[in-house]
Amino acid sequence: MSTIAEVMSRDVTSVAPDSTIREAAELMDDLDVGALPVTEGRRLVGMVTDRDITVRATAAGLGPEETAVSEVMTEDICHCFEDQDVEDVMQDMRDIQIRRVPVVSRDDHSLIGIVALADLADIGADTDPEETAATLRDISSPEPLSDGGART
In angstroms, the CA 33 to CA 10 distance is 15
Task: Compute the distance between CA of residue 114 and CA of residue 80 in angstroms, rounded to an integer.
Answer: 9
pTM, two decimals, is 0.80
Any domain includes 29: yes
Would you tell me how many other CB atoms lie within 10 Å of the CB of residue 51?
14
Q: What is the tens place of the pLDDT at every residue in 74-89?
A: 999 999 999 999 999 9
Any idea what the CATH number is for the domain that residue 78 is in?
3.10.580.10
Q: Is residue 149 part of a domain?
A: no
Mean pLDDT of 63-82: 95
| Helix H or strand E encompassing 39 | strand 35-40
- How many distinct structural domains can be found in the chain? 1
Strand partners, 80: 103
